[in-house]
Structure 1
Amino acid sequence: MSGALSRFRVMAYVVGVGLLGLVFAMLVKYLGDNPGMMAVVGPVHGFLYAVYLVAAVDLALKGRWSLKGTALVLVAGTIPFVSFYAERKVVDSVRAGKSL
């Protein structure tokens, strides 16, 4: 379980930072009329989010999370800053031996 938790933690931070980069790239694209950055950051973030989903589902299966808890953690990677909060809550819950 500790391996799954470590993978999830890393991916939660990577996706959180990547999502902030994506928001910045979107601002550059739409406010600066320069789509170049978005063409790179968008697909990279999409791939990393898919890896985050796999890591979260792996941890959810090993931790026997509820469907609702799993869905909330999966959605957390789509809202800026929420993946950082979700990561902290998941770590606290797993270390306390609780299920989401």
Structure 2
Amino acid sequence: MSLENQIRVFRWVSILEGISFLVLLFLAMPLKYFFDLPQMVQVVGMAHGILFIAYVMGAFWMYKPLNWRKRTLIIAIVCSVVPFGPFYIENKYL
């Protein structure tokens, strides 16, 4: 796979992971705890979990091709657990 395609795939995973995290935090969790509707957390939580794993694996996948320093890799991984973090990585490092 070419570097451009790798970046494109990781960019999409990053965006989708960021969106799923925000939906989980600001839509699904309030529905669960304020309106007693836990179904949304189950669905969005599963999707977010899969995308989270794909994002972290993607960060390791992009480490060498983009010549990231270890510090950049650590920042990318830490940003996976911060709201809006994946958007920062996608914007700054891709």
- Tell me whether the two structures share a fold, i.e. TM-score over 0.5: yes
Structure 1 runs (4+) greater than 4 angstroms displaced: none
- Amino-acid identity (%): 31
Q: How does 1:1-100 map to 2 (within 5 A)?
A: 1-23=3-25, 24-91=27-94
C-alpha RMSD of matched pairs (Å)? 1.3
Equivalent residue of 1:30, what SS?
helix
* TM-score, normalised via structure 2 length: 0.87
Deviations 1:4-53 (A, max 9, x none): 21111111110111111111211111122221111111111001111111
Q: How many residues end up aligned between the 2 structures?
A: 91
User: 1:3 and 1:54 mapped to 2: Cα distance?
Assistant: 16
Gaps of 5+ in 1: 92-100
Cα distance in structure 2, aligned partners of 1:59 and 1:89? 14
Provide structure 2 residue ranges, at least 5 long, that are not aligned to the other structure: none
